[in-house]
Amino acid sequence: MERMRRGVLRAILVLGVVSAPASAQTGWESFGPPLFQVTDVATALDDGTVYASSSDTLAGQSAIFKSIDGGKTWTALVQAASGEYYGDVLVDPASPSTVYTGTLGNDSMTRIYRSIDAGINWALGLTIPDYCVPSFIPGNGGGHALMSCGTGLWTTADSGASWQAQSPVPFTEATRLTTGAVGSLYAYGPTTLFISNDGGNSWQKTGAVPPCPAVNVLAADPLKPNSLIVGTGQLGASGLACGGIYLSSDGGYDWTASPLTGVFVTDVALDTVDSTRAYASASALGSLVPKGGVWASTDRGATWQDSSLPTNSASRLALAKSGKVLYAATPLGVYTASTTNGPSTCTPDAFTLCLDQARFRVQATWTRNDGSSGFGHAAALTGDTGDFWFFDARNIEVVIKVLEGCTTNSHRWVFASGLTNVLVNLTVTDVVTGTTKLYTNPQGTPFASIQDTSAFSCP
């Protein structure tokens, strides 16, 4: 399966170099980078900093580029060794000067590199004696990250200086990683889906295969537990056998086809500020799949609008942290477009509390020592206080209060207590600034009282 994906990747790069008419370029701009067949694009914390991995497979060249002005100018950071091609790029959100990437080599080796100075210098952290496609996600705190490659899983706690192989892992096919709501992590292959609520230490198989059994990308709503979007695409002998976007609201057990069908979906990006906004990319594969591009949704994927990308193919997407700028990796460089982003709001639901005049979003996950896990069920008590139950609605497990202490110490406060000894991840997010605090109760430990009077700065 990895070798098949390798072939598809190169087909996307070589066959997808076809531009649309100039009239379709409204809202999109591109200024490079010079090696125009862009494989991946990744953003940092500010709206202007963006990285791109770019290759010219016909010339045998590949490099990492960086822009600090939103893609208008690019600086070449590092060129790959002959026969190596850069793939995914991850900027550590907790330590933005740390950047991870991997290369696929003609020698059937996969190499993992890192930079801890924002791309100026790079070092080899791991060599995998197999050809697989690395997928990175941030871990819990700066310097921590997870990486899957083929059916393997590795973690780092020192910003990629060393990687530890995790064993055992339940993956049976080429697996990629993504983050979800309340600290949950997902691992997925073309026909499998796993979830972890303990930072990737254990994984539980979940969900079912969507109607098109060829998942290329999965995006988990960062604000709404169990809400998933998958992008699919499967090639047949004479073209696209099936493809498009499917939606699930129950963690992947039931899937509904969206109106975006008949395309080979390569990526899905969800706005972390307003997750009703979603974006999907698709690649053209010559005469086999002539239609690609970028589509936008303002209702969590229920409907989609073609964004008129000036080229008919895109391999990856990235959103600026503010959600106001969208980047698309295409065979003709990185394209950028401004997005319309309304005011941030907190919407309460079965798993979400909205406290302190709905400015703070509070969610929880639990994991027992047998590996079973789930999301906390929320119940509001007052405007500032609420609770969560895990296993039985009659038994409260965690009580939390978020309130304004601005006139006292110029901060907003978080207080919480628990009646449990299971692993709990409690996430509190300021929907105005996007700042998030994670509070963790370790497995087998009585829940320690939280009295954080400097949790969030005012105003």
Position with higher pLDDT, 279 vs 341: 279
pLDDT of residue 46: 87
Q: Model confidence at 76, in pLDDT bands (50, 70, 90)?
A: very high
**Residue 413 clears pLDDT 50, i.e. is over it:** yes
Q: Which helix (H) or strand (E) holds 239?
A: strand 239-248
Place of tokens 């997928």: 135
Q: What is the mean pLDDT of residues 411-438?
A: 90
- For residue 210, cis peptide bond before it (omega within 30 degrees of 0): no
pLDDT of residue 439: 92
CB 112 within 8 A of CB 130: no
Question: What's the whole-number average pLDDT of the chain?
Answer: 89
> Across 262-297, where does the E strand assignment appear?
264-270, 278-283, 293-297
pLDDT of residue 383: 93
**Residue 67 clears pLDDT 90, i.e. is over it:** yes
Torsion, Cα 363 138 40 218, to 10 degrees, reads -40
Q: Model confidence at 382, in pLDDT bands (50, 70, 90)?
A: very high
Parallel, antiparallel, or unpaired: how do β-strands 135-138 and 145-149 relate? antiparallel
Parallel, antiparallel, or unpaired: how do β-strands 264-270 and 152-156 relate? unpaired
Q: Among 2.130.10.10, 3.20.10.10, 3.30.2350.10, 3.30.420.40, name the CATH number for the domain at 2-338.
A: 2.130.10.10
**Residue 5 clears pLDDT 70, i.e. is over it:** no
Percent over 70 (pLDDT), the chain? 93
Residue 166 CB-density burial (10 A; 0-12 exposed, 13-18 middle, 19+ buried): middle
pLDDT in tens, 110-119: 999 999 999 9
3-state secondary structure (DSSP) of residue 3: helix
pLDDT of residue 344: 64
Task: Tell whether the torsion through CA atoms of 334, 143, 186 and 439 is positive or negative.
Answer: negative
Q: Which of 222, 218, 215, 179 is nearest to 197 (CA)?
A: 179
| Total H helices, total E strands in the chain | 2, 38
pTM for this prediction: 0.81
Place of tokens 């791109």: 52
Question: 336 - beta bridge partners?
Answer: 29, 327
Tokens of 291: 């239609």
> Across 182-292, where does the E strand assignment appear?
185-188, 193-196, 204-205, 215-220, 228-236, 239-248, 256-261, 264-270, 278-283
Q: Break the chain into its structural domains and give their ranges.
A: 2-338, 353-457
pLDDT in tens, 176-235: 999 999 889 999 999 999 999 999 999 999 999 999 999 999 999 988 899 999 999 999
